Structures are given as structure tokens and as C-alpha cells.
């Protein structure tokens, strides 16, 4: 089953999908990830290479916040401020939506990217999707997703769902072939 498109804040948080997997671990990887987002695409192309560390800080904070919301916990205050504050500030530039992700005009790319991602986190938390936010049950998976289906368990049935099925099969097989215990 193919999963629905995710809000930007969810996709951003999910770039860290496990302790060993980081989709934006390098600056080039961040730029590639940004290609899927019409607002980010033209800005990422102009972003200075030393921007990565602060983007990763924002990503980790966003993930902490979304995990807390999905678990029904209060997000840590520092992470919440980092993930949302710049999305609440009035931007010193104007973002105009344009068909086909055309240029946003002359906006400072670093500030604009932080603003757009933070605003997406704010919009998500203010939307009905916040209540539908859940964590993937896959072992070691850090992804979150918003789903109206109460029985959805995996970020992606082809990845985490399949892995769980394989593990369950292996467990059954191990039980079935276990030598009988003495006594
Ligand atoms: Zn998963």
C-alpha cells in the first residue's frame, strides 16, 4: 500500500528514520530532500553549505515534539520552542505561492527555510492531523504518520510492516521446530 503525502513537518521529522538512518545527514542530501517541496526547492539551491547543523537541530527538535504529541505527552519546552518559534514570528519577507514551485522572489534562503518548516510544524499542531499523529510500531523506527485509520501500525507496510511479518514468521518457525524440553 502506498502511503499518502505527508505534511512538511512530518516529512522533515521522518528524515531521521532510525538511529542509523539519516536522510539529510549531509548538505547535499538535504538539498535532494528539499527538491520534493516546491517552497523549499528554490531556497535550498541558494542555501550556504554551513546551514546544515542548524537544520539538523531543528529536525531533531521537530521529531521530539511530534513523538511527544503522538504519545499524548507534553513536548519538552526547549524542543517545542526550537521547532515552532520562528514559524510564529512575522517573517521579514513575503512568501508567495506559485504554480509548479516557481521562484519565491528575493527572500533570504536560510531564514526562509527555517520559517517555512517551523510554520509547517505550527500548522500541523493546530490542525486535526495532530490528533491523528502516531508513531510507527516498527522496531527501531522513529517515523511518525497522521492517519484517520485507527488500526494503521506502520509508517510503510512494505518496510516496517513487512519486517514485522518476517520477524513474526521467524518466531513461529523457531517455536515450531524447538526440540521438546526434558521433563
Ligand atoms: Zn516504520
Can you give the pTM of this predicted structure?
A: 0.87
Cα-to-centroid distance, 10 and ligand 1 (Å) = 13
Is 8-176 in CATH node 1.10.3300.10? Answer: yes
pLDDT, tens digit, 9 for 90 and up, residues 57-109: 999 999 999 999 999 999 999 999 999 999 999 887 777 777 666 556 678 89
Q: Kindly list the distances between the CA atom of residue 74 and the CA atoms of 69, 133, 144, 169, in Å, as whole numbers in the listed order.
A: 7, 14, 16, 37
Other CB atoms closer than 10 Å to residue 35's CB: what's the count? 12
Backbone phi and psi for residue 175, each to the nearest 5 degrees, phi listed first: -65, -40
The pLDDT assigned to 10 comes to 97
Q: Kindly list the distances between the CA atom of residue 58 and the CA atoms of 65, 132, 167, 181, 183, in Å, as whole numbers in the listed order.
A: 11, 22, 34, 53, 58
Cα-to-centroid distance, 160 and ligand 1 (Å) = 5
Other CB atoms closer than 10 Å to residue 62's CB: what's the count? 30
Per-residue pLDDT of the chain (183 residues; tens, 9 = 90+): 345 679 999 999 999 999 999 999 999 999 999 999 988 988 999 999 899 999 999 999 999 999 999 999 999 999 999 999 999 998 877 777 776 665 566 788 999 999 999 999 999 999 999 999 999 999 999 999 998 888 899 999 898 989 888 888 888 888 875 554 544
Cα-to-centroid distance, 68 and ligand 1 (Å) = 17
Domain boundaries, the chain: 8-176
Residues 6+ apart with CB under 8 A from 143: 14, 17, 135, 136, 155, 156, 160
Cα-to-centroid distance, 154 and ligand 1 (Å) = 5
Cα-to-centroid distance, 153 and ligand 1 (Å) = 8
Cα-to-centroid distance, 38 and ligand 1 (Å) = 25
Cα-to-centroid distance, 132 and ligand 1 (Å) = 16
The pLDDT assigned to 183 comes to 42
* Contact of 61 with 67, CB cutoff 8 Å: no
* Contact of 98 with 84, CB cutoff 8 Å: no
Cα-to-centroid distance, 142 and ligand 1 (Å) = 7
Q: What percent of the chain has pLDDT over 70?
A: 90
Amino acid at each position: 500500500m502506498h502511503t499518502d503525502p505527508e505534511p512538511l513537518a512530518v516529512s522533515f521529522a521522518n528524515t531521521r528514520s532510525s538511529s542509523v538512518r539519516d536522510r539529510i545527514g549531509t548538505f547535499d542530501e538535504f538539498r535532494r530532500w528539499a527538491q520534493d517541496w516546491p517552497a523549499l526547492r528554490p531556497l535550498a539551491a541558494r542555501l550556504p553549505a554551513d546551514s546544515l547543523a542548524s537544520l539538523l537541530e531543528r529536525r531533531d527538535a521537530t521529531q521530539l515534539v511530534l513523538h511527544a504529541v503522538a504519545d499524548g505527552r507534553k513536548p519538552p519546552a526547549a524542543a517545542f520552542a526550537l521547532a515552532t518559534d520562528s514559524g510564529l514570528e512575522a517573517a521579514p519577507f513575503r512568501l508567495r505561492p506559485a504554480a509548479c514551485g516557481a521562484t519565491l522572489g528575493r527572500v533570504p534562503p536560510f531564514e526562509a527555510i527555517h520559517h517555512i518548516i517551523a510554520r509547517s510544524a505550527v500548522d500541523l499542531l493546530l490542525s486535526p492531523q495532530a490528533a491523528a499523529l502516531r508513531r510507527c510500531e516498527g522496531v527501531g523506527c522513529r517515523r511518525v504518520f497522521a492517519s484517520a485509520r485507527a488500526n494503521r501500525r506502520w509508517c510503510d507496510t512494505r518496510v516496517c510492516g513487512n519486517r514485522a511479518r518476517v520477524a513474526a514468521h521467524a518466531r513461529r518457525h523457531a517455536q515450531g521446530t524447538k526440540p521438546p524440553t526434558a521433563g
